[in-house]
Amino acid sequence: APHTLQAYRASLLHFHADPAFDENACSWHEDGLLVVENGRVKAAGDHARLAATLPAGLAPHDYRGQIITPGFIDTHLHYPQTDMIASPAPGLLPWLETYTFPTERQFADPAHARATAEFFLDELARCGTTTAVVYCTVHRESVDAFFEASEARNLRMVAGKVLMDRNCPAFLRDADGQIGESEALINKWHKHARSLYAITPRFAPTSSPAQLGAIAELARAYPDTFIQTHVSENRDEVEWVRELYPEARSYLGVYDAYGLMRPRALFGHCIWLDGEDFARMASTGAAASVCPTSNLFLGSGLFDFDKADRAGARVTLGTDVGAGTSFSMLQTMNEAYKVARLKGSYLPALRMFYLATLGAARAMDLEGTIGSFAAGAEADFIVLDPKATPLLARRSSHCNTLEEQLFALALLGDDRAVRATYAAGCKVHERSA
């Protein structure tokens, strides 16, 4: 890549610790400068200090009045479900039967998969999401299409082929216990360009014990891959798993018994976990992906943020599109805040912005690579506009603290609040006026 040096003047916000446990977790530069060289962060700090370090003649991009943060990280969503977002059903299991499986069938077609991936990546960019952890379908073509599209945009994306060999339609079923395609996809895509692979058993009900055993072996053979699955989302699902795996201590205990709890394992939902489950999350380094718009939409339940924090479990936020009802991490924060309130917890806006940036990067063992403006980090960043809508502008003019300003952005903001999105120092989205 050609040598490039760029600078961006705006208010800067990023984190170096978790605000739930550290009062000085964030760096805030009201009049800040972000300096980017060859797609990586060179420096982030006060404009007054850093402007003098720029070569003569290099004028910073002027985003004064806006807030630059690291790009959002969405740790759980399904790109093949884009076309079925907001499909009505009374709960998870009928929703899967009625909409999800027929929709996912179409991803045997590479052209359909590629076109959907392009729209999906456009939508993420519009919402300021620069890294996502993505379910494809059981078809290897769906994975090729996704990574071909994300690499063409030079995005850091995590994705994988869904594995299921029972309790699903025959047209979406892996041959009994087989995981060979996943291994081939790891060798093709994991750490190719900015791509990272996630071994993706859909959830315990759709994998036989033989398949979970093979998956465990694969995960051990490739310890720096991700693992993603669903756990304890819905009460009927939890009951079903109790019947299918009667010997397990709990639903999460099924994955634990197969050795699938480890760093870089991301468990979607985690609503009906007990204290021991959360303690295992903490001691194994696995992470919860909390998906509030989905959980409210399907009526699945309310994640217990305090319980997770007391155990010291890694927590992140996901949209879970298409059960999630928005691609926006700001809207996801909005709903997370309300879920926390209903459970008697309190999520400050600073914590939510942490969870959507550095918190996710840490939970994914990617600290220093994405999620902050530490020197050398990849320059994935977004420009947020506190005056994006008439209402936001009016509210922002009355905000007296950073917390109030971020809270207003989280509660009132969506894709309209994202003025621009940059990936590895290149602009991948700019909102038209």
Interface ranges with ligand GUN (CB under 6 A): 78, 92, 96, 100, 202-203, 230, 233, 294, 320, 323
Q: Residue 260 Cβ, how far from ligand GUN at the closest point, in Å?
A: 15
Quick one: angle between helices 140-152 and 110-127, nearest 10?
40
Q: Residue 118 Cβ, how far from ligand GUN at the closest point, in Å?
A: 21
For residue 113 the two structure tokens come to: 């998969």
Q: What are phi and psi of 343, to 5 degrees?
A: -95, 5
Cα–Cα distance measured from residue 158 to residue 142, given in angstroms and rounded to the nearest whole number? 13
165 vs 233, which CB is nearer to Zn ion?
233
Which of ligand GUN, Zn ion, none interacts with 354 (beta carbon under 5 to 8 A by kind)? none
Residues that bind Zn ion (CB under 5 A): 268, 320
Q: Provide the residue type at 431 as one letter.
A: R
Cα–Cα distance measured from residue 204 to residue 215, given in angstroms and rounded to the nearest whole number? 12
Q: Which helix (H) or strand (E) holds 314?
A: strand 314-317
Nearest residue to ligand GUN, by Cβ distance, number only: 323
Residue 176 in contact with residue 211, Cβ under 8 Å? yes
Which of ligand GUN, Zn ion, none interacts with 100 (beta carbon under 5 to 8 A by kind)? ligand GUN
Give ∠ CA 136-81-178 in degrees, rounded to 5.
30
74 vs 320, which CB is nearer to ligand GUN?
320
Cα–Cα distance measured from residue 411 to residue 295, given in angstroms and rounded to the nearest whole number? 18
Sign of the alpha-carbon torsion through 215, 220, 223, 229: positive
Q: Residue 389 Cβ, how far from Zn ion at the closest point, in Å?
A: 30
Which of ligand GUN, Zn ion, none interacts with 256 (beta carbon under 5 to 8 A by kind)? none
Q: Residue 76 Cβ, how far from Zn ion at the closest point, in Å?
A: 6
103 vs 405, which CB is nearer to ligand GUN?
103
78 vs 194, which CB is nearer to Zn ion?
78
117 vs 388, which CB is nearer to ligand GUN?
117
Which of Zn ion, ligand GUN, none interacts with 203 (beta carbon under 5 to 8 A by kind)? ligand GUN
Q: Residue 297 Cβ, how far from Zn ion at the closest point, in Å?
A: 12
267 vs 354, which CB is nearer to Zn ion?
267
CA neighbours closer than 13 Å in the CB half-sphere of residue 55: 7
